[in-house]
Structure 1
Amino acid sequence: MSPTVDHYRIIPSLTVPGYASDTLKGIVNATHAAVQANVDRLGAGTPSRAPKFVKLLQDKNLIDDKNQSIATTNHNETVAALRDIEASMEENDEGVDSSTYGTYSVAGDAYDDIEKAVKQLQGAIDDAAKAPGPSTDRITGNQYWPESVEGPLRTACASAAATVEQRMRDAATDIQRHADHINYYAPENPTSGYYGGTTRALTTAWSGHSYVPPADASTIEKIKGFAENELGVAEIGTNHVNRPYNIDDAWCASFATWVWKQSGINVDWSNKNYVPSVWSDAVGKGWADSSMANARPGDLVVFAGQNHIGVVVARNGNSITTIEGNSGDAVRQHTYDISSGRFTGVVHPPAGSKTAVAV
């Protein structure tokens, strides 16, 4: 790493035996540089500017889309590419303003997990040095690791980097939401006027009754029933509701996920309380639809900016009716024109989903 950088936390060094190939040494060095740059961006509170090391490896055809190492015959070109990637990691790290390093509990927790991932990677390298150990060239007598050893180690580097980047995304969510008092990523208790819709008056408090769907109810009917049953639930204090979806924080995504779960759709979002995570996961699973023309009852609707989410309970021509948690401090019903351009899109329920769906 560049000596000009004042690091937030020092990442333990990664070492390989001298007989390792230049390609393996290159990816190990680049991985270390990437992890250090990510950690420093985390400490500075600018995780969105952290380098995307895994994507660079994919762009250079060094790993596939599943982060598996791709064998190469052009070692000189590969080593040069890795040196370029390492340099770009260090350049990103040099742009960190160390004066902004803050004491974030979530950053500290993330660092512990990142350090663990680095130690596990070093452990994999050390284990390979012990067994099977190096091979010996019969002609030159030089020691080396065959591709059967180095390939998995290159994959281990990519996997460690992917783990770090995912942990960064999770920590970034918490840091930004709390540092900005939730206002930037999840506006506090948005009302229908914020998005140009109309609201059914909140004339009565929540009934307090539990909804029990009929035995023959469809998934869509259950979604509508569970959502409608929560109408009138209101906050007590700030962002607190005496319901199972309470998280003592902005709770629109938690509410929407809870409605789906009660209806038999138990999706393990990477962060069920954060709308961008829900949308990103849905995109990855093929459930997201950016065309509001395809909105239908049972969908989750994601608003523009991915800062709010609701449950679609009805569709009438170009209008949808939604029920949203954390809307004006309560669970409220709204109606919107789908052509207003105020939406990111909808998330369709996965077909036939009755149990937890891993994301």
Structure 2
Amino acid sequence: MSPTVDHYRIIPSLTVPGYASDMLKGIVRATHAAVQANVDRLGAGTPSRAPKFVKLLRDKNLIDDKNQSIATTNHNEAVSALQDIEASMEDNDEGVDSSTYGTYSVAGDAYDDIEKAVKQLQGTLDDAKKTFEPLNDATTGKQYWPESVEGPLRTACASTAATVEQRMCDAAIDIQRHADHIYNSLPDNPTSGYYGGTTTALTTAWAGHSYVPPADASTIEKIKGFAENELGVTEIGTNHVNRPYNIDDAWCASFATWVWKKSGINVDWSNKNYVPSVWSDAASKGLADSNMASARPGDLIVFAGQNHIGVVVARNGNTITTIEGNSGDAVRQHTYDISSGKFTGVVHPPASSKTAVAV
């Protein structure tokens, strides 16, 4: 990191053993640079402008869409790509106006969360050093870790970066709410924080175009496509949206069941606009499942108290990504830990419409 950068708060360096490969060292350095750049953007009150490190890793085919490390046969190209990414993180950091540090009080809480994530990553790296003895190359005599050790460590770096970026999105929304004096936490108009999740910033209005699924799209792909197409839809007045799922009332259930119907899933709900009815009907039809470990893309997710419902569009380990109507007066995307105890359960599509999905 350039010594000329005046940091909001210093992120302690991440360390790995000297015998770690250049590729692992590269992703550790780049992860540190990315986290530091995010923290400085946070301190300046501009978290939405933070660099997208995880996207760059994906674009360079260093991780997949689940943030899993991808083994590469071209080690030199991977190392070069990581050097370029690290440099771009540092360039972004140098562009932060340090005179604005501390503008928003929300930065402190977010920083604490980020610091915990970094400490956890360092703990993972330290545990690997204690657990896995290096091997010896018979030709060069040099010590090294095999891919079976380094691959998961690269994944841990990507996962930490993804956690930090998600926290930045949450901070961006908190800052906007603070600036506009907007507080939307009523049970019938929930925000992600109400249920212990994180929120992707609502940075653009709805695109205004219709989604037409490809001819060969699976049911799950259709559900994801129809739901994502509505991101950015916002209320006009109270509980009114200029979309087919408008009911001029709390509309989270109307949105979720509309997404299913558009995707070809027709269930005869007694009241498609009322979450308790949807859950009760689902239970009677054998579609309700209170075991959150079974959550998968395409499900409807019912929140604790049965006062909110959303659509599951992705699953990554113990986290799920949802798209929810009437969330902060808009269609928003959220991420939750399924073990948080904040949910009643999920509603699976009927067997005739299920599509196998790896989670």
Alignment TM-score, normalising by the size of structure 1: 0.60
Moved over 6 A (4+): 272-277, 306-309
- 1:122 aligned onto 2:122: yes
Cα distance change on mapping 1:119 and 1:48 into 2, 3 Å? same
What displacement does 1:103 show?
Answer: 4.9
Cα distance change on mapping 1:11 and 1:320 into 2, 3 Å? closer
- 1:255 aligned onto 2:188: yes
Residue type at the aligned position of 1:164: V
Quick check: 2:54–2:161 contact (8 Å CA) kept in 1? yes
Paired with 1:122 and 1:158, the residues of 2 have a C-alpha distance of 13
Equivalent positions of 1:157-168 (< 5 A) are 157-168=157-168
Q: Which residue of 1 aligns with 2:43?
A: 43
Quick check: 2:45–2:103 contact (8 Å CA) kept in 1? no
* Percent of pairs with identical residues: 66
What displacement does 1:257 show?
Answer: 4.9
Quick check: 1:303–1:309 contact (8 Å CA) kept in 2? no
What displacement does 1:308 show?
Answer: 7.7
Q: What SS does the corresponding residue of 2:157 show, helix, strand or coil?
A: helix
Q: What SS does the corresponding residue of 2:188 show, helix, strand or coil?
A: helix
What displacement does 1:125 show?
Answer: 1.1
Q: What SS does the corresponding residue of 1:323 show, helix, strand or coil?
A: coil
Q: What SS does the corresponding residue of 1:322 show, helix, strand or coil?
A: coil
Q: What do residues 183-242 of structure 1 show as CA deviations (whole Å, max 9, x unaligned)?
A: xxxxxxxxxxxxxxxxxxxxxxxxxxxxxxxxxxxxxxxxxxxxxxxxxxxxxxxxxxxx
What displacement does 1:321 show?
Answer: 4.2
Quick check: 2:44–2:103 contact (8 Å CA) kept in 1? no
Instruction: Give the superposed CA RMSD.
Output: 3.8
Q: What SS does the corresponding residue of 1:310 show, helix, strand or coil?
A: coil
Equivalent positions of 1:142-221 (< 5 A) are 142-182=142-182
Paired with 2:118 and 2:126, the residues of 1 have a C-alpha distance of 12
What displacement does 1:323 show?
Answer: 2.1
Quick check: 1:47–1:168 contact (8 Å CA) kept in 2? yes
Equivalent positions of 1:311-350 (< 5 A) are 321-323=247-249, 347=256, 348=258
Quick check: 1:302–1:310 contact (8 Å CA) kept in 2? no
What displacement does 1:287 show?
Answer: 7.5
Quick check: 1:275–1:306 contact (8 Å CA) kept in 2? no
Quick check: 1:275–1:309 contact (8 Å CA) kept in 2? no
What displacement does 1:90 show?
Answer: 0.5
What displacement does 1:269 show?
Answer: 8.4
Q: What SS does the corresponding residue of 2:249 show, helix, strand or coil?
A: strand
Q: Which residue of 1 aligns with 2:224?
A: 286
Paired with 1:118 and 1:143, the residues of 2 have a C-alpha distance of 27
Cα distance change on mapping 1:110 and 1:284 into 2, 3 Å? farther
Paired with 2:125 and 2:9, the residues of 1 have a C-alpha distance of 23
What displacement does 1:271 show?
Answer: 5.2
Q: Which residue of 1 aligns with 2:213?
A: none
Q: What do residues 298-341 of structure 1 show as CA deviations (whole Å, max 9, x unaligned)?
A: xxx877567888378x97xxx9541269xxxxxxxxxxxxxxxx
Cα distance change on mapping 1:164 and 1:74 into 2, 3 Å? same
Quick check: 2:42–2:107 contact (8 Å CA) kept in 1? yes
Structure 1, unaligned stretches of length 5 or more? 183-248, 259-266, 292-300, 326-344
Q: Which residue of 2 aligns with 1:201?
A: none
What displacement does 1:106 show?
Answer: 2.2
Alignment TM-score, normalising by the size of structure 2: 0.60
What displacement does 1:135 show?
Answer: 1.0
Paired with 1:284 and 1:112, the residues of 2 have a C-alpha distance of 38
Paired with 2:168 and 2:125, the residues of 1 have a C-alpha distance of 24
Residue type at the aligned position of 1:143: Q
Q: What SS does the corresponding residue of 1:16 show, helix, strand or coil?
A: coil
Of 54-63 and 103-112, more deviation after overlay is shown by 103-112
Residue type at the aligned position of 1:109: D
Cα distance change on mapping 1:16 and 1:99 into 2, 3 Å? same
Q: What SS does the corresponding residue of 2:239 show, helix, strand or coil?
A: strand
Q: What SS does the corresponding residue of 2:248 show, helix, strand or coil?
A: strand
Paired with 1:166 and 1:42, the residues of 2 have a C-alpha distance of 12
What displacement does 1:179 show?
Answer: 2.4
What displacement does 1:251 show?
Answer: 5.0
Q: What SS does the corresponding residue of 1:51 show, helix, strand or coil?
A: coil
What displacement does 1:286 show?
Answer: 2.0
Cα distance change on mapping 1:257 and 1:6 into 2, 3 Å? closer
Paired with 2:138 and 2:237, the residues of 1 have a C-alpha distance of 65
Q: Which residue of 2 aligns with 1:310?
A: 239
What displacement does 1:172 show?
Answer: 1.6
